[in-house]
Amino acid sequence: MSPNPRKRPAPEALIAGLVVVILAALVIAVFLTGWGSSLYPPDAVTQQGRDVRGLYDIVFAFGLAIFILVEGLIVWSVLRYRRRPTDSDLPTQTHGNNIAEVIWTVIPTAIVLFLFVISWQTLNKVDAVSARPDIRIHAIAGQFQWQFEYLDQDGKKVATQLTPAYDTATGAGGMAVPVGRSVQVTLDSPDVIHAFYVPRFLFKRDVVPGQTNTFEFTVDASEAGQVFRGQCAELCGTGHRLMLFSVIALSPTAYDAWLNALIEKSNATPAPLPSGTVLNVTAEGIKFDTTTLDVPADSPFAIAFTNKDPAGVTHDIDIRDSNGTVVANEDTINGGTTTNYTINPLPAGTYTFFCSIHSNMTGTLTVK
Amino acid sequence: MATHALRPAAPTYSRGRLYEWLTTTDHKKIGIMYVINSFVFFLIGGILALVVRTELAQPGLQFLSDESVYNQIFTMHATLMIFMFVIPMLAGLGNYAVPLMIGAPDMAFPRINALSLWMLPLAGILLVASFFTGGSAAAGWTSYPPLSLDGPLKSPGTGQDLWIVGLILIGTSSILGGINFLVTIFKMRAPGMTLFRMPIMVWTVLVTSVLVVMATPVITSALVMLFIDRNYGGRFFDPFGGGSAVLYQNIFWFYSHPAVYVMILPAMGVISEVLPVFSRKPLFGFKAFIFATAGIGALGFSVWAHHMFTTGSVFLPFFSLMTFLIAVPTGVKMFNWVFTLFRGQLTFSTPLIFAIGFLTMFLIGGINGAFSASVPVDFALHDTYWVVAHIHYVLFGGSVFGIFAGLYYWFPKMSGRMLDEGLGKIQFVLMFIGFNLTFFPMQMLGLAGMPRRIADYAADAGWNDWNMAATIGGFLIAASILPFIWNVFVSLRNGKIAGDDPWEGNTLEWATSSPPPPYNFDHLPEIRSERPVFDARHGRGAH
Amino acid sequence: MSADSHALAPADHSPISGLAHDIRGGISNPILGMLLFIASEIMFFAGLFAAYFSTRANFVDANGVKEWPPSEFADILNPFSLILVATVILILSSVTLQMALWAIRRDDRTGFLRNMAFTFILGITFLLLQAYDYSLLFQEGLTMGSGPFGTTYFTLTGFHGAHVFGGVIMLGVVLYRGMSGQFSSRHHDAVEAASLYWHFVDVVWIVLFTILYFL
């Protein structure tokens, strides 16, 4: 390499250097002042999530350093080496530099190998599954509803939570877990691929039909009483956005009470059919067997509802009036089960009955 | 340039220019038609993206009453952008540039070249027509079964079948194109054009073509099996009939990860031509760059399962390691580009500005890649908007900026006239701002837990502001395309006459007239390096 | 290809005249193109075979028995039957095709045409035998829809059959062009390319036959 034959005036270099330093300082300031916090995941609430977050911070630090270095070089070069009208001679024709090539091969290799090793170590912690977890939950994701089966230590089902989302008004619904205990979740799907995703866990795992995935987490003891948002993260059809659920962190005693209540509810026999009008409705193949129902006005009636779809596919029957106001909001039932819904008297008119989980399952209810 | 013809005499009959274009086997006309066809689908795909952004601007379903429509729109947006825009657009630029750059009169198989071209609009029409046959494919551009299988709440419509047929057509077109490129590059180089004197653009097309020829048939097999499952009672991917849902993902990504390099390598090639020309320096580390390109191509076949880390059925450490390693050759390229600028004499014409846009944006996309390679971090980020941000930083910030750099760079060669620099810079500024406004917030959205492919989100999830910002950015990007279209329209008639070599180029296409004659060259300069035209201009000593 | 020679006709001494032709010797464009096409075809079949082995490894029948082929089809695929005849015919057709190729290389057009015609007829015979074999399988209840076994069997053999069909068309074109005297020892790239493809189809069948009937 021959030395650059022309001396460049200092001002361009000064300006370029100044801009690079200011930009780098700005980027760093953004992070120091906390404005950059939205470039981090939310604070983790599980032991495993904190491991992931620790790893993220390291990867992010490397990423930020490389970003500042390379963008700085680009900005510097762009500002510094502008061609001026007086530049008629060619700049030095540098074809390359083997030492430089080796440097920027070896150092990045070392960095990625380091990142790989710490990622692997974290993976082994995050992905670990114990033989005897404290709590076992079997989560079933069907289009478009989650359900959570609580299992005993032998894997036998003791209760089923069919209402996946927590309702702040009533306090019902959600997947409750005790804090400070290891919770093992097994995932199954009766139809398409879904994904169990809780952002605050910094974790997701696909729910693959025909394959049972397992993962484990322990919610931090300080999180008792918190509710965390969960959502299906793998496109699963027209109701994908509706596949929400909540994880409720409870103290171990509160959890036991919660579970006992759920067991009681699960074991309760379906309400007996009242005398009067009883409609029989069956859901099979994501369809109601009828699209028209007729009931008399202003008197209570009942629907004997059978869900003939496979387990994991939940249905219910809700009713809305012609204005779209839901006048009957019934509980969902699992595939292969039956229930009786008792509906309060409705004034005469035309209503729509529908499955709250499958928007294609609708019919007309005529009250007269 | 000498003008007397080595070409065959013009035919004595004339059937008009349109007929001539429709029946041509000239690689330059075919290349230009590739570009036009791809640009049309870029516009369609862009409009679909605006529909998605409009729906997501605020929580609630305001704009699309039916969620199934939303799923169709984003599925077709991705499908058109990937298969009908980026891949064929780069194939078109390659089609135009490669024979010129290696001093060949045409592609090796000109009629097969025409066949490859004409399969594309046919496939595009099939894809778009599915909107009018009861709805297009709606299972995402990845079309994972069982969702993409036939059945209630899955994909019962013909749209999914049309999608499969369209993609197989595009794949066949790509394979034939890839074979054509490989034979052209191996067999048709001008005397003196050794492999290591080939321009980087040709090298990237070479590696891309190897990827296309080896990987595209694999996705064809996956699509064929999906078609059999849907229509003939097959059981490949139905987990309740003895098949495996994850099998499809393995086969699909075996193609679709290399496809990512199919979409970025030729854009890198464009950048590697533009940066040296406009900094008046050779590409820093020419051979290292070639080895890095080949390295990316080779590693590209061993990383597919990093799209499947969360499926719970791939060997995580291996794919994590390979994915990390692919950052190394990519980094080598990045440094080589930056050091090409370093101590150069930069002329900020539109091609260079887009090339620098490529560098700054692709860097972010590349760094993002390291996050995905880290399996536990990927557990948090997979299938969120963070991934959407990542692929757009790579494919839009990378490939699309590279494509525009290439269009501005070669437009004078294609048309004989210059594009307007002022309009070009307006386009760049709008696009650069709009792009970052759209996709940078998506990283925050993903980190905050917004899954991709949802039509609506809760108002209290804290995602409202970033979504609004992304929507505004999306419309800015759309606005940036208008000056480009206007620029092309005006410059074709009134643009400054380009002359043979408006940019002081390095490679052989600048040694012939603008536009080049049929069969390209009347004379070839001596080829003693990778910059034959530079050598001819400055004398061999300057090299 | 013809467009090139057309282009170069007026001035063979020009600086670009040598470009389209293979000045460095070695493999010709159509043959390199065919080899690359075969490479991509290999990857296509690799995808199908990967699916076959994956399906087979995961297969469990309704009673939870891990057996391949499933018990109800256990005896249906007998290698020592019609299918063996078809296999021999296909291998024989490769031999006759190679003899045709050798013949045209030494300018023996009669030998070329004779062997080419044999190959063409053998190819059609293979297709007819396969169609007949399919009809037997249908009678015994094995169809595309009868579980993973039927799906993989018919997909693999069906796509192979489609390739044989394509090959037979290619052979027919070569035969037709040969009959109108278009080939000689100096000009027979199309014969070389068609023979490469046909041998490839033959090899795929041997692999397929071994895997489906013996493994």
3-state helix, strand, coil in chain C (%, to 5): 75, 0, 25
> Which residues share a beta bridge with A163?
none
pLDDT-derived band at A302, boundaries 50, 70, 90: confident
% pLDDT > 90, chain B: 84
Residue A242 DSSP label:
G
CA distance B262 to B244: 28
Q: What is the pLDDT of residue A1?
A: 42
| Pairing label, strands A175-178, A244-250 | parallel
What is the least distance, in Å, from the CA of A154 to any CA of chain B?
23
**What is the rounded average pLDDT for all residues in chain A?**
89
Backbone angles phi, psi at B428, to 5 degrees: -60, -45
CA distance B238 to B247: 10
pLDDT-derived band at B61, boundaries 50, 70, 90: confident
User: Taking a C-beta distance cutoff of 8 angstroms, is the pair A20, A190 a contact?
Assistant: no
Residue A204 in contact with partner chain B when CB distance is under 8 A: yes
Per the structure block, which two tokens stand in for A252? 């171990």
User: Taking a C-beta distance cutoff of 8 angstroms, is the pair B409, B274 a contact?
Assistant: yes
Establish whether the linkage from the previous residue to B191 is cis, with ω within 30° of 0: no
Residue B306 DSSP label:
G
Q: Give B248: exposed, middle or buried? Use CB within 10 Å, 0-12, 13-18, 19+.
A: buried
> Which residues of chain A does B384 touch, with a Cβ-Cβ cutoff of 8 Å?
197, 233
Residue B384 DSSP label:
B
Q: What is the pLDDT of residue B57?
A: 94
Establish whether the linkage from the previous residue to B99 is cis, with ω within 30° of 0: no
> Which residues of chain B does A83 touch, with a Cβ-Cβ cutoff of 8 Å?
280, 344-347
Mean pLDDT, residues C155-161 taken together: 95
Q: What is the pLDDT of residue B181?
A: 97
Domains and CATH numbers, chain A: 10-82+97-126 (no CATH), 135-267 (2.60.40.420), 277-367 (2.60.40.420)
CA distance B515 to B500: 8
CA distance B382 to B249: 15
> Which residues of chain A does B334 touch, with a Cβ-Cβ cutoff of 8 Å?
70
Q: Which of B67-76, B176-185, B313-322, B386-395 has the lowest mean pLDDT?
A: B313-322
Q: Side chain identity at A347, as an amino acid letter? A: P
pLDDT at B41 over 70: yes
Element (H, E) at A198: strand A194-198
**Which 312-331 residues of chain A touch chain B by CB within 8 A?**
none
Contact at CB, B71 and A237, closer than 8 angstroms: yes
Q: Give A340: exposed, middle or buried? Use CB within 10 Å, 0-12, 13-18, 19+.
A: middle
Contact at CB, C7 and B519, closer than 8 angstroms: yes
Mean pLDDT, residues B66-79 taken together: 92
Of the candidates A38, A73, A205, which has its C-beta nearest B444's C-beta?
A38
Which residue range is the domain that position C100 belongs to? 28-214
Q: What is the pLDDT of residue B10?
A: 53
In a domain, C73, yes or no: yes
Total residues found in chain C within this entry = 215
User: Taking a C-beta distance cutoff of 8 angstroms, is the pair A292, A364 a contact?
Assistant: yes
Mean pLDDT, residues C165-186 taken together: 94
Evaluated on CA atoms C86, C87, C90, C91, the torsion sign reads negative
pLDDT at C9 over 70: no
pLDDT at C169 over 90: yes
CA distance A12 to A8: 8
pLDDT at B142 over 50: yes
Of the candidates B139, B239, B543, which has its C-beta nearest A210's C-beta?
B239
Q: What is the pLDDT of residue A231?
A: 94
Between residues B1 and B200, the one the model is more confident about: B200
Q: What is the pLDDT of residue C3?
A: 38
pLDDT at C6 over 90: no
Q: What is the pLDDT of residue B273?
A: 96
What is the least distance, in Å, from the CA of B224 to any CA of chain A?
20
Q: Which residue has the tokens 């000239």?
A: B26
Q: Which of A297-311, B464-478, C171-185 has the lowest mean pLDDT?
A: A297-311
Which residue from A minimizes the CA distance to B284?
A96
Q: Side chain identity at C211, as an amino acid letter? A: I
Element (H, E) at B17: helix B16-22
Contact at CB, B342 and A96, closer than 8 angstroms: no
Domain CATH code at residue C146: 1.20.120.80
CA distance B200 to B376: 36
Of the candidates B68, B320, B338, which has its C-beta nearest A77's C-beta?
B338
Residue A55 in contact with partner chain B when CB distance is under 8 A: yes
Q: What is the pLDDT of residue A13?
A: 85
Q: Which chains touch A (3 or more CB pairs under 8 A)?
A: B
Which range of A296-305, B285-294, C67-76 scores highest in mean pLDDT? It is: B285-294
pLDDT-derived band at A278, boundaries 50, 70, 90: confident
DSSP string over A270-310: PPPPPSSEEEEEEE-SSSBS-SEEEE-TTS-EEEEEEE-SP
pLDDT at B364 over 90: yes
Of the candidates B68, B147, B321, which has its C-beta nearest A193's C-beta?
B147
**What is the rounded average pLDDT for all residues in chain C?**
86
Mean pLDDT, residues A333-349 taken together: 86
User: Taking a C-beta distance cutoff of 8 angstroms, is the pair A161, A150 a contact?
Assistant: yes
Residue A43 DSSP label:
P
Backbone angles phi, psi at B517, to 5 degrees: -70, 165
| Of the candidates B410, B400, B406, B537, the residue with the CA atom closest to the CA atom of residue B480 | B400
| Of the candidates B34, B31, B157, B131, the residue with the CA atom closest to the CA atom of residue B84 | B34
Q: Which of A78-82, A194-198, C19-23 has the lowest mean pLDDT?
A: C19-23
Q: What residues contact A13, with CB distance under 8 A and at least 6 apart?
A: A80
How far is Cα of residue A187 from the mean position of the Cα atoms in its chain? 14
Complex confidence, ipTM: 0.91
**Which 109-168 residues of chain A touch chain B by CB within 8 A?**
109, 112-113, 115-116, 119-120, 122-123, 126-127, 143
**Which 19-48 residues of chain C touch chain B by CB within 8 A?**
19-20, 22-23, 27, 29, 32-33, 36-37, 39-41, 43-48
pLDDT-derived band at B9, boundaries 50, 70, 90: low
Between residues B4 and C126, the one the model is more confident about: C126
pLDDT at C15 over 60: no
pLDDT at B12 over 80: no
Residue B451 in contact with partner chain A when CB distance is under 8 A: yes
Contact at CB, B311 and A71, closer than 8 angstroms: no
Mean pLDDT, residues B186-205 taken together: 94
Mean pLDDT, residues B503-523 taken together: 93
Mean pLDDT, residues C148-175 taken together: 95
In a domain, C12, yes or no: no
HSE-CB for B408 with a 13 A CA cutoff: 27
pLDDT-derived band at B13, boundaries 50, 70, 90: low
User: Taking a C-beta distance cutoff of 8 angstroms, is the pair B323, A100 a contact?
Assistant: no
Contact at CB, B447 and A42, closer than 8 angstroms: yes
3-state secondary structure (DSSP) of residue A202 = coil
3-state secondary structure (DSSP) of residue A96 = coil
Q: Which chains touch C (3 or more CB pairs under 8 A)?
A: B
Which range of A83-92, B112-121, B457-466, C56-65 scores highest in mean pLDDT? It is: B112-121
> Which residues share a beta bridge with A205?
A196
| Of the candidates A312, A293, A291, A311, the residue with the CA atom closest to the CA atom of residue A303 | A293
Domain spanning B22-542: which superfamily? Answer: Cytochrome c oxidase-like, subunit I domain (1.20.210.10)
pLDDT at B151 over 70: yes
Q: What is the C-alpha R_g of chain A? A: 30
The CA-atom distances, in angstroms, between A327 and each of A241, A320, B226, C11, C31 are: 24, 5, 43, 88, 74
Per the structure block, which two tokens stand in for B499? 């002359």
pLDDT at C2 over 50: no
- pLDDT one-digit tens code per residue, A108-159: 999 999 999 999 999 999 999 998 999 999 999 998 889 999 999 888 999 9
pLDDT at A8 over 80: no
Q: What residues contact B426, with CB distance under 8 A and at least 6 apart?
A: B480, B483
> Which residues of chain A does B454 touch, with a Cβ-Cβ cutoff of 8 Å?
231, 240-241
- For chain C, the domain total comes to 1
Q: What is the pLDDT of residue C25?
A: 61
Between residues B336 and A265, the one the model is more confident about: B336
Q: Side chain identity at A222, as an amino acid letter? A: S
pLDDT at A5 over 70: no
Contact at CB, B521 and C15, closer than 8 angstroms: yes
> Which residues of chain A does B347 touch, with a Cβ-Cβ cutoff of 8 Å?
83
Alpha helices in C59-184 (DSSP H): 82-105, 109-139, 147-179
How far is Cα of residue B125 from the mean position of the Cα atoms in its chain? 19
Per the structure block, which two tokens stand in for C177? 């062009």
> Which residues of chain C does B5 touch, with a Cβ-Cβ cutoff of 8 Å?
10
Of the candidates A90, A235, A360, which has its C-beta nearest B280's C-beta?
A90
In a domain, C183, yes or no: yes
CA distance B241 to B162: 24
> Which residues share a beta bridge with A128?
none
Q: Which of A16-20, B18-22, B158-162, C58-62 has the lowest mean pLDDT?
A: C58-62
How far is Cα of residue B211 from the mean position of the Cα atoms in its chain? 14
Residue C204 DSSP label:
H
The gap between the terminal CA atoms of chain C, to the nearest Å, is 44
Evaluated on CA atoms C34, C35, C40, C41, the torsion sign reads positive
Which residue from B minimizes the CA distance to C55?
B243
> Which residues of chain B does A235 touch, with a Cβ-Cβ cutoff of 8 Å?
71, 139-140, 144, 147, 452-453
Q: What is the pLDDT of residue A9?
A: 56
Contact at CB, A239 and B447, closer than 8 angstroms: no
The CA-atom distances, in angstroms, between A291 and each of A282, A301, A315, A320, A354 are: 11, 17, 15, 14, 10
The full set of domain ranges for chain B reads 22-542
The CA-atom distances, in angstroms, between A215 and each of A124, B195, B319 are: 12, 51, 20
How far is Cα of residue B237 from the mean position of the Cα atoms in its chain? 29
Mean pLDDT, residues C44-70 taken together: 88
CA distance A140 to A245: 12
| Pairing label, strands A362-367, A292-295 | parallel
| Pairing label, strands A182-188, A135-142 | parallel
Per the structure block, which two tokens stand in for C179? 């009959």
Query: How many of the other CB atoms lie within 10 Å of CB of B489?
Result: 10
Q: Give C68: exposed, middle or buried? Use CB within 10 Å, 0-12, 13-18, 19+.
A: middle
Query: How many of the other CB atoms lie within 10 Å of CB of B92?
Result: 27
Q: Side chain identity at B38, as an amino acid letter? A: S
| Pairing label, strands A301-307, A338-343 | antiparallel
Q: What is the pLDDT of residue B361?
A: 95
User: Taking a C-beta distance cutoff of 8 angstroms, is the pair A159, A266 a contact?
Assistant: yes
Q: Which residue has the tokens 């990423």?
A: A63
